[in-house]
Amino acid sequence: MLHLDPNELQTPELHGYLLGAIGPRPICFASTVDEEGKVNLAPYSFFNVFSARPPILIFSPARRVRDNTVKHTLENVQAVPEVVINVVNYAMVQQMSLASTEYPKGVNEFVKAGFTMEPSQTVRPPRVKEAPVQLECKVVNVVSLGAQGGAGNLVMAQVERLHINQEILNAQGQIDPEKIDLVSRMGGNWYSRAKSGLFEVAKPNSDLGIGIDALPRAMRQSKILSGNDLAQLANVSALPEGAHEHSGKDINAQKKAKQFIEQGAIEQAWQVLIQE
């Protein structure tokens, strides 16, 4: 047994142990707006439901350990106390990861990660159309847990409207765990798909992925390449040499690229798409 005093650990090490031990954690995919109405979208796994009446969810955008800066989501809910909390299923996990890229303030991650903005009914931030459940919330309190890097900020959000895709319901009208197909966060690069177990997702590119909006049109409109496939292709820091607007229009090349993506071979997938 290891016996550790948190005060004697470096923050990244402490963070690693806590995140490895406390899991799987549900993922809050938070849509917010700034004072000018610019939209932001980011995932948060320090998250759960804490009360049914009133219906309260809490998530925590932390101060960065690296440089003690704060997340855009926190700035936004302090300026405009509204958030849409979307849940994340397996079909959107790679796009959700791409949306966690640290794009500059004002960049709309719906666009970069290829999600559809659906207008909300009670709050200003849009909903993620692809998410099986979308919860419009008013932020009722923000509690800072400290001023140093790594300190969390509890964002307490009261649900004002629930949107549930009927396709995830069973015959009794309840949410079916197989159909909702939720994913959750573990330590390191690990995630858990509730119905089948562990899998890894490469961290977003620290040089900033180009985003799905920057992919050649033929690839974006592909019927073969899924959102998860496109998100992995869009996690490169520049369009590979030779890529152009019509790259990847050949169906066989798309099929081959899909196989490479399934094996985690993103570079080879790009080569096939460019060379056809």
Ligand X SMILES: Cc1cc2nc3c(=O)[nH]c(=O)nc-3n(C[C@H](O)[C@H](O)[C@H](O)COP(=O)(O)O)c2cc1C
Closest approach of Cβ 71 to ligand X, in Å?
4
**Quick one: 24 or 216, whose CB is closer to ligand X?**
24
**Quick one: 40 or 232, whose CB is closer to ligand X?**
40
Sign (positive or negative) of CA dihedral 23, 27, 28, 30: positive
Is 86:168 a contact under the CB 8 Å cutoff? no
Rounded Cα gap, residues 108 and 100, in angstroms: 11
**Quick one: 27 or 85, whose CB is closer to ligand X?**
27
Closest approach of Cβ 186 to ligand X, in Å?
10
CB atoms under 10 Å from CB of 54, counted, come to: 10
Give the closest residue to 123 by CA, choosing from 109, 137, 133, 135: 137
Is 208:238 a contact under the CB 8 Å cutoff? no
Rounded Cα gap, residues 160 and 176, in angstroms: 23
Rounded Cα gap, residues 206 and 9, in angstroms: 25
**Quick one: 190 or 268, whose CB is closer to ligand X?**
190
Closest approach of Cβ 107 to ligand X, in Å?
8
Closest approach of Cβ 200 to ligand X, in Å?
12
User: H or E segment at 177?
Assistant: helix 177-180
Closest approach of Cβ 221 to ligand X, in Å?
27
Strand partners, 128: 117
Rounded Cα gap, residues 133 and 223, in angstroms: 25
Give the closest residue to 227 by CA, choosing from 87, 103, 84, 110: 110
Is 201:93 a contact under the CB 8 Å cutoff? yes
Q: At what angle do helices 266-275 and 251-262 cross, to 10 degrees?
A: 170
> For strand 183-185 and strand 25-26, is the pairing parallel, antiparallel, or unpaired?
antiparallel
Amino acid at 20: G
**Quick one: 86 or 97, whose CB is closer to ligand X?**
97
Closest approach of Cβ 138 to ligand X, in Å?
18
Closest approach of Cβ 61 to ligand X, in Å?
4
**Quick one: 33 or 253, whose CB is closer to ligand X?**
33
Binding residues for ligand X, rule: CB under 6 A, are: 27, 40, 42-46, 60-62, 71-73, 97, 100, 102, 185
**Quick one: 46 or 110, whose CB is closer to ligand X?**
46
**Quick one: 43 or 248, whose CB is closer to ligand X?**
43
Closest approach of Cβ 129 to ligand X, in Å?
19
